[in-house]
Amino acid sequence: MQYSDKYFNMPDFIQEFKTIEKHHNKIKHQFSQSVNSIIQQHYQYTLHDEILSELLDQYANHIINATSSVIDKDLSYPEYRLKEELERMYWLTQKRNLLNNQSLLFEKIHQNSKTFMVHHFPGILNLSGNGFRLLEANALFYDSVFEYDLNDYISRNSI
């Protein structure tokens, strides 16, 4: 059975998807490189292997997806749902005790993620107050998770 709809063109849809995916991969690579540069400066020697690359890719995906998600939610959610999600993010961050031991490395990575979000997602400038707080909560959460994973990786590799 062939799908036919005068408003839907499968080749155009596939091309649009490929364009979006190409853009996503480009900014993911840029973000990963910027974070890797911060890590290299912090430890003052070269770290790079498949595991670190995977950590950087996962982190970049989390930041990119969370940023897109918050912008979409801010546009479509009623204010009370934004507040509920914000409360859940605060609860999750506190429950996991993620923000207790923020290091200089964490501060640099967090600043980098915020700069990246503003540069690549101009929709951030139109966020509501709760949308902006939700974005910050997501960034803090994923920055903290990344720092935890990075410290675990470093300790396991006796670096």
pLDDT in tens, 119-142: 999 999 999 999 999 999 999 999
Beta partners for residue 5, in sequence order: 8
Residue 8, classed as helix, strand or coil, is strand
Question: Per the structure block, which two tokens stand in for 126?
Answer: 């139109």
User: Rounded to an integer, what distance in angstroms lies between the CA atom of residue 112 and that of residue 40?
Assistant: 14
Question: Per the structure block, which two tokens stand in for 62?
Answer: 């989390």
DSSP category for residue 77:
S
The pLDDT tens digits of the residues spanning 44-103 come to 766 668 888 999 999 999 999 999 999 999 999 999 999 999 999 989 888 777 666 678
Question: What is the average pLDDT value for the chain, to the nearest integer?
Answer: 87
Contact 38, 108 (CB under 8 A): yes
